[in-house]
Chain A
Amino acid sequence: MERNRWERLQALFHAASGMEATERGVFLRKACGEDAELLDDILAMIEEDRATSGLLDGRVEGLAARVLGEAVKEGQKVGPYRIERVLGEGGMGTVFLASRADLASVAAIKVLRDAWISPARRKRFAEEQRVLAQLNHPGIARLMDADTLADGTPYFVMEYVDGVPMDRYFAGGGRPIEERLRLFREVCEAVRYAHQHAVVHRDLKPSNILVDSRGAVKLLDFGIAKQAGEYEVAADLTRTGLRLLTPAYASPEQLRGERAGVQSDVYSLGVILYELLTGRLPFDMSKGSPVEALRKVSEREPVRPSLVARRVREKEGTGATDGAAWADLDVLCLKAVHKDLTQRYASVEALMRDVDHYLRREPLEARPDTLGYRLSKFVRRRRAEVAAAAVVAMTLAAMAGLFLVRLAGERNAALAEAARTQRVQRFMLNLFQGGDETAGPSKDLTVAMLVDRGSREARILDKDPAVQGELYQTLGGIYQKLGNLEKADILLRESLERRKSGRPAGRLETLVALGLLRVDQAKLDEAEKLVREALDGSRRELPPGHPVTALATDALGRVLEEKGDYEAAIPVLEEAVRLRSAPAVSRADLAASLYELSNAHFYAGHYAEAEELNQRVLSMNRELYGNQHPRVADCLVNLGAIQHDKGHYREAESYHRQALAITRAFYGEDHHRTASGMTMVARALVFQQRTGEAVEMLRQALAIQERVFGAVHPRVASALNELGNSAIRLKRYDEAKAAFRRVISIYREVYGGRHNLLGTGTSNLGSAHLAAGEYAEAERFFREAIAMFEQTQGPDHVNTGIARVKLGRTLLRQRKYTEAEVSTQTGYQILIQQVNPSASWLQSARADIAEIQAALGKAAR
């Protein structure tokens, strides 16, 4: 038909279609004239115009359903097989169940539908076949045969899997999370296998995963699978586009039409896991177009699975959800479906590792390495399979309540958020991992209760020695920090027992911990033996530079220092400092070793070195822990002690009071550290003649120390010593003597017969007798003290000097002037050689010398 004629036809059609039949007849006869064909066309059009059931009135999908048929039908023979029924329709082809009479077996046959549509489809089909041919894994349906029908339609034969799709298998819920995860893990295993063969599935979804009657999974449909590295990007994109993805399971990059790699499979697995756990998809894709789907996936964040599961359960009334367990599942799932490839699991293997970690109740690799997380995971791990979960829940809940953080429920979100939370995390971890520093308020008693519970719980479990060993070490460490040395001892020994056969580093670490516990227990020889064993072992069994070697070296330095062997301790601690100066070692560890080194120098009388090191550590610690931290207090105490020994008592008091304020706020009133801090301040007060204030403080301190450490302990002795000094000043000599006697007996019991502190106690007892006018006794004790100081600290040590001056005064009071002059002069010479000799003792020495010389002169005259 000519264009003009069509225009005319239309014009007449429009004009006539609105007319009455008679009117139209007249109109058309006149308009068409002799052109009967035109009239015929118009009338046909008008007739069709009224009809409503023509081809164009239907929908195209109806037409498609009628026109696009199948290449084979039921009952047809395909090779040796007989087609039984349709199993499913994939994008490329239809899968039929087929039987083989001669072998009495069944198989699945996939036929490429309408192969003529394009060469690309044929190529894709051949590609799927090729991919399947190289995959031989129990979790992947096996390729058995391939051929073409008589008309050239290609097909291939696969192993038939008599199972149900994974989503149906789990429909209705009720199966435990562990079971779902184990099955999911099997799916991952199969996908990993494919990835190892450079095959990316790209269309993973529950309907492509069958679970058979034995509960084994089979992966189906590698229809759009990709052989990595064989195609250019453009071709790759084309093939992705060939097949409709299932938007709900497709990764954002796939929806965007970008290249799909192994991480796209990871994403799909993540969605599958999400659905397995919650019964819901991360994004509802049932409504709206794929454009909207893409927008949803790109812009929104999936709701945490735990929340979805809870809602579902509440709605369906199917019991409670274990919040703590879900926190890890949240992390796992959300990392798998992360939009950002750099945040998503890098491989199926990584995903599987975390599934395994979850099943074994270990910390996930996906977890941000937050301290609180590791802690709570650590506590949770104790659950194992026993029905003692309640204890852990209570432990966590109690801690959570204590620190206003809901640890058990939403560790992930809650713990990550506030800065306060981080402080709590650090506090708890340090508590649980043996660091003494904490960053929270003191609630020792409550924590002690929790740890008691924890250790009772720990006893019940005896399955994994490595876990047990770590647990006992940690709990033992907490008991030690809490001052419960007896329980610490038991747990550390149990830890050692369990770690004997494990990693050497673990065993050696426990040896060191046990050695340092012995220091706290004042069993120094045993401490040295244990720590040396650990150090030798670490040098023998661990690679050079291993942190445990540095730990053991540092510990040996501490032990030697505690034993009073400062000259031996100093080089050992210098070695520890050297080991810990390596760039990889934390500044905190370095600061700790420097701190011990400064202590050793201080006790050895090297005040300049001690002060310099201490100032360095103080600024390091302020940087590391902030101004209100116990480690900062420790430095202040040392600086105070140095000032004290220099005779700067006001400065010493100032340092000690700063330290006490931090310690008290941190540990609370009833803590041995608070007691020690009080003792230090009291000592500075005593030397400033503010005796009344001092005694009150010392009595409190003593009571605390005795509560925490028992009657026989160096810390109790230290408090008693200060109390005795104050008693002398208050002229309560009997009280003073009793105190010093206890000091000496404690030191003797703790240190054996040889220690400079024994000298100090003995010298102070002498002072009490001297003040009481009991010169014979005083002389005896001073002589004993001098001998002890000379042995332990050397004849030129300040302590030796002071004791000589004291002896001199005693002799003076006994009018043994010649002997007195020798003793006092010797002492004075020792003291005056020191950079900052004790001023009060120098003054009294000068006065005594003057008195002696006056007496001698009088006698000579």
Chain B
Amino acid sequence: MDSADSLILEGAGDREALDHLFSVAYEELRRLAAGVRRRDPGATLSATTLVNEAWIKLARTPVVARASELHFKRIAARAMRQVLVTAARRRIAGKRGGTGSIRVTYDESLDSAAGSDAELVALDDALSELARMNPRQSLLVESRFFGGLEVPEVAALLGVSEATALRDWRAARAWLAAQVKRGAHGA
């Protein structure tokens, strides 16, 4: 985790709290994933709902008690990103030999999953670089993509106008996509 991460998660406190936070994020993503796998659009929650639910569940815990709702959403988005990226990195490691146990995905999505893993790792790397260049933009992308926040929410979170947020998003998105393409192919 880089310095920006620790900045974002400063409110999260001790290790146990972080552990908890990631567990919740994981559960939420699991639920989303299950909905997608069932190809049941009705059962699929939006990422926004997801973060809301996570917030409710965590609202009484020390992690979140001190945080504003927006701040929490920022934290939750970070946790989502972290979970997904870690899963992807582990799987890539597993494919390269790793523990030697059989790695399993759904057979029909094996290829796309492998592609996703590499892309996600590349995105994560690029986001970390973006955070060094412009932490605000990195946050913007993280919150909007991983946390499912709407543009007005993100603008409020970052303390900028919606027009500025949209402008920042456009540039960041274009750059990140270019980086992912390069990185994933290079990986």
Chain A interfacial positions (CB closer than 8 Å to B): 1-3, 6-7, 9-10, 13-14, 41, 44-49, 51, 54-56, 59-73, 76, 89, 91, 113-114, 116-121, 149-153, 234, 237-238, 240-245, 255-258, 289-291, 294
Contacts and interface: CB of A to CB of B under 8 A. Distances in A.
Given A6-B134, A45-B178, A257-B59, A243 B52 contact: no
Nearest to B30: A68
B147 to A, nearest CB: 8
B28 A244 contact: yes
A68 B33 CA distance: 7
A69 B104 contact: yes
Given A63-B84, A66-B112, 4 more contacts: A48-B175, A59-B46, A66-B109, A73-B104
B176 interface: yes
A290 B56 contact: yes
B105 A119 contact: no
Contact of B30 (A49, A91, A152, A258): A91
B178 A3 contact: no
B88 A67 contact: yes
B36 interface: yes
Contacts of A89: 30, 34
B104 A70 contact: yes
27 contacts: A3-B134, A10-B171, A44-B174, A54-B173, A55-B123, A56-B173, A56-B177, A59-B47, A60-B145, A61-B29, A61-B35, A62-B36, A63-B84, A67-B33, A67-B87, A69-B91, A69-B106, A71-B104, A116-B86, A117-B83, A117-B86, A118-B20, A120-B16, A241-B57, A241-B60, A242-B23, A258-B60
Contact of A45 (B105, B113, B175): B175
Contact of A69 (B113, B120, B170): B113
Contact of B133 (A1, A149, A255, A290): A1
B96 to A, nearest CB: 14
A41 B178 contact: yes
A48 B177 contact: yes
B19 A69 contact: no
Contact of B181 (A48, A240, A245): A48
A123 to B, nearest CB: 10
Given A238-B20, A238-B61, A244-B57, A70 B105 contact: yes
A119 B113 contact: no
B22 interface: yes
A256 B120 CA distance: 35
B133 A6 contact: yes
B158 interface: no
Nearest to A2: B133
A238 B22 CA distance: 12
A675 to B, nearest CB: 73
A14 B102 CA distance: 47
A56 B35 CA distance: 20
Nearest to B117: A67
Contacts of A152: 99
Contacts of A67: 33, 84, 87-88, 91, 113, 116-117, 120
Interface string B86-106: 111011000000111111111
A248 B44 CA distance: 17
A240 B58 CA distance: 9
Main SS class of interface, A? helix
Contact of A56 (B30, B36, B145): B145
B185 interface: no
A2 B62 CA distance: 37
Contact of B31 (A72, A241, A244): A244
A65 B36 CA distance: 6
Contacts of B49: 289
Contact of A76 (B28, B102, B106, B178): B102
A89 B22 CA distance: 19
B46 to A, nearest CB: 8
Nearest to A50: B174
B66 interface: no
Nearest to A3: B133
Nearest to A6: B133
Contact of A241 (B24, B86, B173): B24
A1 B129 contact: yes
B144 to A, nearest CB: 9
A61 B146 CA distance: 9
Nearest 6 CB-CB pairs, A to B? A257-B60, A61-B32, A48-B177, A65-B36, A73-B104, A44-B178
Given A55-B119, A67-B113, A294 B84 contact: no
A118 B113 contact: no
Given A67-B88, A114-B87, A119 B24 contact: no
B9 to A, nearest CB: 14
A113 B56 contact: no
Which of B120, B129, B171, B178 neighbours the largest number of chain A CB atoms within 10 Å of its CB? B178
Interface in B11-57: 16, 19-20, 22-24, 26-37, 44-47, 49-50, 52-53, 56-57
A293 to B, nearest CB: 9
A151 B101 contact: yes
B130 to A, nearest CB: 8
Nearest to A117: B26
Contacts of B98: 151
Nearest to B119: A55
B180 interface: yes
A488 B132 CA distance: 97
Contacts of A41: 175, 178
Nearest to B100: A150
A244 B53 contact: yes
A55 B45 CA distance: 19
Given A61-B36, A67-B116, A56 B176 contact: yes
A149 B101 contact: yes
A338 to B, nearest CB: 22
A835 B56 CA distance: 85
A116 B98 CA distance: 14
B104 A72 contact: yes
Contact of A73 (B16, B33, B102, B173): B102
B133 A242 contact: no
A48 B59 CA distance: 39
Contacts of A69: 87, 91, 103-106, 113
Contacts of B133: 1-3, 6
Contacts of B182: 44
A175 to B, nearest CB: 27
Contacts of B57: 240-241, 244-245, 257
Contacts of A46: 174
A67 B29 CA distance: 10
Contact of A55 (B36, B83, B104, B177): B177
A72 B104 CA distance: 6
Contact of A65 (B37, B60, B90): B37
A67 B101 CA distance: 17
Contacts of B101: 149-151, 153
B165 interface: no
Contacts of B35: 61
A153 B90 CA distance: 13
Contacts of A54: 173, 177, 180
B170 A49 contact: yes
A74 to B, nearest CB: 9
B94 to A, nearest CB: 8
Given A70-B104, A242-B23, A64 B175 contact: no
Nearest to A83: B104
Given A56-B145, A69-B106, A290-B56, A119 B33 contact: no
A60 B32 contact: yes
Given A41-B175, A117-B83, A257-B56, A64 B99 contact: no
A73 B105 CA distance: 8
Given A66-B112, A76-B102, A120 B20 contact: yes
A3 B101 CA distance: 43
